[in-house]
Structure 1
Amino acid sequence: MHRLRLSSCLPLLRALGVVALLASPVSRAQDAPLPAPISEALQRAGMPPSALSLLVWPVDTPTPRLAHLATTPRPFASVMKLFTTGAGLLTLGPAWTWSTDTALGGPLSPDGVLNGSLYIKGQGDPALLQEHVSLMVNRWRAAGLREIRGDIVFDRQWLAVPAHDPAAFDGRPLRPYNAGPDALLVNHQSVVLRFVPDASRPGQIRVAMDPPLDGVELHTQLTIKAEASCGDWREAMDLRMAPIKGWHKEGLSRWSIQLRGPYPLSCGEKDWPVLWQGDGPGDLAARLLQAAWRQAGGTLKGQIRDGAWPENAAVWQRWTSPPLGSIVRDINKFSNNVMARQLFLTQATAPLPTGTDSTSTPSPATLDAARTRVSAVVRQATTRAANHTPCDGEALVLDNGSGLSRMERTSAMCLGEWLQVLWRSPVMPELMASLPITSVDGTTKRWQGAAGYAHIKTGSLDGVSALGGYVDGQSGRRQVVVAVVQYPRNEAIRPVMEAILNWARQDLPN
């Protein structure tokens, strides 16, 4: 197993200008009484102060302004993505990109016939979408390829993780947030069911699947409700996916999506993202690729299957992802779990920059290697003088890097120290730009706490609500704010979180 020594990160962090911050000691924060606005918000929500861990820490002071149970490890849900994305930006750099390579398994004739198979090597691109697949095959056609007389072979060996069960976490296998990682992840493993009022038949609704998938039939039986309010319209629907006996083209099995239930006309046009099931992780990629290849005018004589990249094969075409700085924005603004998983695993195999003593690139990527790498980077960065290690042991436990886990947890102090490190690092602008702005965009668009003055990542699981990020105080000072409430009944938690943000914002002396 690949293991990264903590000392191997030190040259990198020194080169990034982070270690200068770490040289000065910091006093361990003492728990203080909660300010009245926060305490009263907890009382209204029916939650005891012991359910809350809280840290408010100006970026220009050596000690926190407020700490409450800040060293208690707790689950932080999607806020754990700040470790994955921050470590990725520090070690890989904002300009890092992923490649999806293509090789020819035989001679390509002048008339565009490939006498052999076409090989595609997936290397973890988190942002390979349906439109990118179309552009990719159009480039094949522009380079002279017209007919593939062998197979299309997916090499997905970059990744070695246990088989993913999308129902394992919460029993909701059709929810896109439950998608698992894949070396050749396409369209986040999801499709969208689009409900559109029928212009030719007033009072009726059309349903289409985007993108259309080869071998997949969509059957709908909607009961139109003319007077009903929209509400939570999806909960009243019955959505099922099931295989159909027989085979479709290119070795693809046949599947059906069945949708039944009431649809209120007041909903108008709606989208329903759905995690595709099919025949395993590569199934959606195969169906999308075949549809795009046929639409581009290409033909395939063989089938689409998994296999190995030929030894010593030259790269014929290469698709390059957007830079990491852009991808981190998508991960944090919209809390994309599978993209976070892809980035987490990428850090298991990507070499550290020149100047460290660990540049090996083990393949395939494993969860153990990713946990070791990211934990080591965070712990080295947050270790201060006098052996003060706020992220040691149970204070930082990583699982899959997305926060969608019963195992991942941290303390408010560990996360607060990490956000202080990132604030003083060269990648601060990219990280800040990736965080949702309260009342403006992303997952905090409807939040009113410190409206427009807080860059905050939020997260929630059953019994857990958390936030972490930065708030601009009225004094002009920026502050790290970390909070988590762990309590069985936390449906009314947002007023507590907004009270915390408002209190952090109001930092002028009385």
Structure 2
Amino acid sequence: MTYSRFLRRILAVAAVAAACFVPDTSVAAPSPVDTGGTAVEQPKPKKRTTTRKRSTAGRRTTRARRATPAVAPAAGWTRPRGASALSSDLGSILSRKEDGHWGAMVVSLTRGDTLFALAPDDPRTPASTLKMFTSVLALDRLGPNWQFSTDVLRDGAVGGDGTLAGNLYLRGDGDPALSKRWVPGPGLDAPMQELADKVAAAGIKHVKGDLVADASAFESRTIPDGWLSRYAGSGYAAPFSALSLNENIVVVAVYPDGRVVLEPATTGIPVENQVKVTGGGGSSLHIYRSTDGTVVARGSIGKRAAVRRLQLTVADPPRFTAGALRAALASKGITVDGQLRMGQTPANASLVASHKSPPISELIAAMNRESINHFAELLFRNAVRGPKRDTLGSAENGNALLQRFMTTKAGASANAVSVTDGCGLSVLDHVTPRAMIQMLAYAHKAPWSSAFHASLPVAGESELLRNRMKFTPAQGNLHAKTGTTNDVIGLGGYVTAENGEVLAFSFLFNGHDRWNARATIDRMGATMAAFSR
């Protein structure tokens, strides 16, 4: 290998260094049933939404990454003058033979002409760039100010002594923000504590009936088609439902005295504690979720050890969430005589308490900037329900709605988009680069366009693009959503050219040589930003 070729390879590796082995999304499970999971150490606050097995080649790449600066400019970009020069330069950048297939398109939204196209009508797996379609669908159907409401209702009368002669219902509205991330409070059960306080304020002290979890707004299936089974149990591929809490992650805390405590506290998950207390300060723990949903804790912990906290995905989100409400009610002295069960809220039930989510604009910003799959799945199904909330939130209905939207509003051809989820984890999803451009063009002119634009990471500055395209004309300029899996690298969004034109672009690579493909995309991003005519 010549020195110049070696240097180009090092620069390409450095340009993607900060993101290596931490893709923004991944592919996870074709089984419709999540069969269990093993606990992992509770992560630090920095959001990670995928994992990847380390191969020998991966270790070599890691060594190369550590030997190079953390951030490097996107080498090889140009300053094209004129449309033909831009097309030629982008074609030249893409002429490198990566092990895979490209689809690409660049259109000037200012002038309306196509500046570059490569296989624009060939379907490609989009990975997390699909979250832009979900964002646009939710914004178009519900508007940027829409809020979700998680409600507590009753079907009986409350006596003078505070006894409810009936059932209490927890009705889910598919709120993705039912977590401490959005609700202030000391624990992971903050949303349920808030609802319990409101139930107490309504004068209820005792419930003679059941606590009923109502997740009927969505289909009962909690894992979509096309999620690969090797990712089952991972936090970024947790099961979901219309009634979800803490992104359906439970923290298992093991104390030096042998106690095993779930955070948030919930009566909806049984715990089997087989932990033994030993001398010293060490610990050796194996914590996992069995196929029936029981959290099993085995191993040992020393009397002088620190508290160990590990996290697991939840097998039954509605039961987990309603169990957390029951525990919160108990902490306020409110007792429930009956069982915790699944069911539907009667039409004549009376509202007791509500928790409102932040507006959709804030939820979409979090989803796109951090690539949160859980948010995407719930927003996708909520878009189906629409403002009247009269349609079942399902993946099948979501695909039909998205295809109808793309053909009637964005001008796409039939079947240019076909999906089985809303986040892009599914290997069965496909979109064409042209369809992505048409979606971006529609969003650019929509009344809610500012909310959509603001949700996208910015090159060289924020979230998943923080360390990409630095020290180039794209820094602080290019707004886009990433997509990364083991076999996909994608980027789609907007960039303002040097002459002030707004360009929409879609770059989708399906293949194994994804890190070189990522460097190629960064060169194209910088080249578009430097374009003028």
Give the alignment's TM-score, normalised by structure 2: 0.71
Q: Residue in 1 aligned with 2:321?
A: 285
Q: Residue in 1 aligned with 2:6?
A: none
Residue among 451, 461, 477 paired with 1:440? 461
Q: Residue in 2 aligned with 1:382?
A: 410
Distance in structure 1 (CA, Å) of the matches to 2:427 and 2:166: 47
Is 2:519 the counterpart of 1:495?
yes
Distance in structure 2 (CA, Å) of the matches to 1:340 and 1:111: 44
Q: Residue in 1 aligned with 2:264?
A: 211
Is 2:296 the counterpart of 1:256?
yes
Residues 142/400 of structure 1: CA separation in 2 closer, same or farther (3 Å cut): same
Q: Given that residues 117 and 148 in structure 1 are in contact (C-alpha distance below 8 angstroms), is that contact kept between their aligned partners in structure 2? A: yes
Q: Residue in 2 aligned with 1:23?
A: none
Residue among 438, 445, 451 paired with 1:417? 438
Distance in structure 1 (CA, Å) of the matches to 2:174 and 2:530: 43
Residues 320/487 of structure 1: CA separation in 2 closer, same or farther (3 Å cut): same
Q: Residue in 2 aligned with 1:318?
A: 354
Alignment of 1:255-274 (within 5 A): 255-257=295-297, 274=312
Residue among 181, 184, 188 paired with 2:243? 184
Secondary structure of the structure 2 residue equivalent to 1:400: coil
Residues 168/413 of structure 1: CA separation in 2 closer, same or farther (3 Å cut): closer
Report the alpha carbon displacement of residue 77 of structure 1 after superposing the two structures with TM: 0.7
Report the alpha carbon displacement of residue 70 of structure 1 after superposing the two structures with TM: 1.8
Q: Given that residues 193 and 274 in structure 1 are in contact (C-alpha distance below 8 angstroms), is that contact kept between their aligned partners in structure 2? A: yes
Secondary structure of the structure 2 residue equivalent to 1:96: coil
Residue among 48, 56, 61 paired with 2:111? 61
Residue among 201, 204, 213 paired with 1:145? 204
Is 2:491 the counterpart of 1:467?
yes
Report the alpha carbon displacement of residue 493 of structure 1 after superposing the two structures with TM: 3.3
Report the alpha carbon displacement of residue 422 of structure 1 after superposing the two structures with TM: 0.7
Secondary structure of the structure 2 residue equivalent to 1:405: coil
Report the alpha carbon displacement of residue 434 of structure 1 after superposing the two structures with TM: 0.9
Distance in structure 2 (CA, Å) of the matches to 1:374 and 1:36: 31
Q: Residue in 1 aligned with 2:394?
A: 366
Percent identity for Structure 1 against Structure 2: 23
Alignment of 1:46-445 (within 5 A): 47=98, 51-129=101-179, 130-162=189-221, 164=223, 169-192=228-251, 210-214=263-267, 215-216=270-271, 240-243=287-290, 255-257=295-297, 274-277=312-315, 280-351=316-387, 362-383=390-411, 391-445=412-466
RMSD: 3.7
Residues 492/213 of structure 1: CA separation in 2 closer, same or farther (3 Å cut): farther
The one-letter code sitting in structure 1 at the alignment partner of 2:510 is: Q
Secondary structure of the structure 2 residue equivalent to 1:188: helix
The one-letter code sitting in structure 2 at the alignment partner of 1:189 is: N
Secondary structure of the structure 1 residue equivalent to 2:351: coil
Report the alpha carbon displacement of residue 467 of structure 1 after superposing the two structures with TM: 1.0
Stretch deviating more after TM superposition (122-131 or 83-92)? 122-131
Q: Residue in 2 aligned with 1:230?
A: none
Distance in structure 2 (CA, Å) of the matches to 1:344 and 1:220: 45
Distance in structure 1 (CA, Å) of the matches to 2:469 and 2:220: 40
Q: Given that residues 403 and 414 in structure 2 are in contact (C-alpha distance below 8 angstroms), is that contact kept between their aligned partners in structure 1? A: no
Alignment of 1:6-45 (within 5 A): 33-35=88-90, 38-39=93-94, 43=96
Q: Given that residues 152 and 354 in structure 2 are in contact (C-alpha distance below 8 angstroms), is that contact kept between their aligned partners in structure 1? A: yes
Give the alignment's TM-score, normalised by structure 1: 0.74
Stretch deviating more after TM superposition (320-329 or 213-222)? 213-222
Report the alpha carbon displacement of residue 32 of structure 1 after superposing the two structures with TM: 5.0
Q: Given that residues 87 and 115 in structure 2 are in contact (C-alpha distance below 8 angstroms), is that contact kept between their aligned partners in structure 1? A: no
Q: Which sections of structure 1, spanning at least 5 residues, go unmatched? A: 1-28, 227-236, 246-252, 262-267, 352-359, 384-390
Residue among 498, 501, 504 paired with 1:477? 501
Q: Residue in 2 aligned with 1:3?
A: none
Secondary structure of the structure 1 residue equivalent to 2:498: coil
Residues 78/291 of structure 1: CA separation in 2 closer, same or farther (3 Å cut): same
Q: Which sections of structure 2, spanning at least 5 residues, go unmatched? A: 1-83, 180-188
Distance in structure 1 (CA, Å) of the matches to 2:479 and 2:166: 52
Q: Given that residues 123 and 432 in structure 2 are in contact (C-alpha distance below 8 angstroms), is that contact kept between their aligned partners in structure 1? A: yes
Residues 288/75 of structure 1: CA separation in 2 closer, same or farther (3 Å cut): same
Report the alpha carbon displacement of residue 419 of structure 1 after superposing the two structures with TM: 0.4
Secondary structure of the structure 2 residue equivalent to 1:35: helix
Q: Given that residues 112 and 144 in structure 1 are in contact (C-alpha distance below 8 angstroms), is that contact kept between their aligned partners in structure 2? A: yes
Residues 297/455 of structure 1: CA separation in 2 closer, same or farther (3 Å cut): farther
Distance in structure 1 (CA, Å) of the matches to 2:192 and 2:368: 24
The one-letter code sitting in structure 2 at the alignment partner of 1:286 is: A
Distance in structure 2 (CA, Å) of the matches to 1:165 and 1:414: 23
Q: Given that residues 403 and 415 in structure 2 are in contact (C-alpha distance below 8 angstroms), is that contact kept between their aligned partners in structure 1? A: no
Secondary structure of the structure 2 residue equivalent to 1:65: strand
Report the alpha carbon displacement of residue 74 of structure 1 after superposing the two structures with TM: 0.6
Q: Given that residues 433 and 507 in structure 2 are in contact (C-alpha distance below 8 angstroms), is that contact kept between their aligned partners in structure 1? A: yes
Q: Given that residues 148 and 301 in structure 1 are in contact (C-alpha distance below 8 angstroms), is that contact kept between their aligned partners in structure 2? A: yes
Report the alpha carbon displacement of residue 212 of structure 1 after superposing the two structures with TM: 4.2
Residues 257/447 of structure 1: CA separation in 2 closer, same or farther (3 Å cut): farther
Stretch deviating more after TM superposition (445-454 or 183-192)? 445-454
Distance in structure 2 (CA, Å) of the matches to 1:286 and 1:480: 44
Residues 440/260 of structure 1: CA separation in 2 closer, same or farther (3 Å cut): farther
Distance in structure 1 (CA, Å) of the matches to 2:500 and 2:260: 50
Q: Residue in 2 aligned with 1:458?
A: 482
Distance in structure 2 (CA, Å) of the matches to 1:362 and 1:372: 16
Distance in structure 1 (CA, Å) of the matches to 2:89 and 2:380: 35
> Deviation digits for residues 142-166 of structure 1, max 9, x if unmatched?
2212222221111222222445379
Q: Given that residues 225 and 428 in structure 2 are in contact (C-alpha distance below 8 angstroms), is that contact kept between their aligned partners in structure 1? A: no
> Deviation digits for residues 482-503 of structure 1, max 9, x if unmatched?
1011112324433122112111
